[in-house]
Amino acid sequence: MKHRDIIKVDDLSYHYGRNLALDYISFTVRKGDFFCFLGPNGAGKSTTVKLLTGQLKLQSGEATVDERNIRTENKEIIKNIGVLTDDMVLPKELTVRELLKFVSLSFTYSNSKAKDVSNQVISKIGLREYANFKIAHLSSGLLRRVSIGQTLVNNSSILFLDEPTIGLDPVSSREILGLIKKIHNEGITIFYTTHLLKEVEQLCTSLAVINRGKIKLCNNFLNLQKHFKKKIEIVISNKLKSLVRVIKILKKNGWKDIITDRKKILISIPSNNVSEEAFNTIVSILQKNKIAFSKAAIKQLSLEELYHTIISEGGINETLVK
């Protein structure tokens, strides 16, 4: 069954004063996805989350969250989503139980229902023994659990989690990721921003990469994974001029999945080809066309390398953008 798009972003742009934070970005997220929004610091991840969750006012473009327009149905959206942003701090004077009850009551639950819901959430996030602790007295890891817990109170269909593991030690980080994974397995769509590639590999089912306010890549993670397989790396001696020629020649010979940056070409090896055979074929094509190259090798491309290729100037092949 094909899932419907639960988030649709179309030509969204945003300025902080004169600085452009989002440069006409477009992407979609399907219902049930674990969508990772990947990008370096200052890329525009948090701005996107704040726009989609009504914390910033839309300047231009259109977007819908769960079929509701963020421009006109902001209040309805807030009622139906859970949000955790990196610049959100919970009121320190409340206890865990008081905070969750307060959030439940904000969604106009009755007093008894609010009590039940807060108890359920406390169990879900595994904080029963800390329920009467003040927020101010919790460790970073426990605090992050409460932050995630407060997004679960209203049975939302989408959770926006903006770098939820930032600043945590590896053990706490692992626990938080486990909790988020558990929540996703219950069928909740997760919009997850991060700059940590390990988390992307562990969690996501689809992803978009953003850099300097522009979407550099948007793809289903399974489709993208083929780029993690073996690649043939060729470093061209005469750089730009030859680079364009090489791409043309390779494409003419049936090699379509090519990623380039200023210095090198990375060619995906289709799964039905043996890597050594593919390597020999490409080398012979280059030699036949008298193209000088300083290096040619079979390479295992990791997500990190793919990410750096995407983020670096020169960008990526258009075939990777949905």
Residue 79 contacts other proteins per CB under 8 A:
yes
* Amino acid identity at 99: L
Using CA atoms, how far apart are residues 120 and 144, in angstroms rounded to an integer?
17
Residue 228 contacts other proteins per CB under 8 A:
no
Rg (CA), the chain: 23
Residue 40 contacts other proteins per CB under 8 A:
no
Residues 128-167, mask of contacts with other proteins (x by CB under 8 A): ----------------------x-----------------
Minimum distance of other proteins from residue 57's CB (angstroms):
7
Provide the 10 A C-beta neighbour count for residue 16: 10
Q: Which region among 52-60, 189-197, 232-240, 258-266 touches other proteins (by CB under 8 A)? A: 52-60
Q: Which two tokens stand for residue 95?
A: 């206890």
Count of CA atoms in the C-beta half-sphere (13 A) of 51: 26
Instruction: Return the residues of window 103-122 that contact other proteins according to CB under 8 A.
Output: 103, 105-108
Residue 78 contacts other proteins per CB under 8 A:
yes
Instruction: Return the residues of window 258-317 that contact other proteins according to CB under 8 A.
Output: none
Using CA atoms, how far apart are residues 258 and 227, in angstroms rounded to an integer?
10
Between 79 and 212, name the residue whose CB sits nearer to other proteins.
79
Residue 24 contacts other proteins per CB under 8 A:
no
Using a 10 angstrom Cβ sphere, with 0-12 exposed, 13-18 middle and 19 or more buried, the burial of residue 214 is middle
Residue 94 contacts other proteins per CB under 8 A:
yes
Between 49 and 217, name the residue whose CB sits nearer to other proteins.
49
Residue 15 contacts other proteins per CB under 8 A:
no
Using CA atoms, how far apart are residues 322 and 309, in angstroms rounded to an integer?
17
Residue 54 contacts other proteins per CB under 8 A:
yes
Provide the 10 A C-beta neighbour count for residue 132: 9
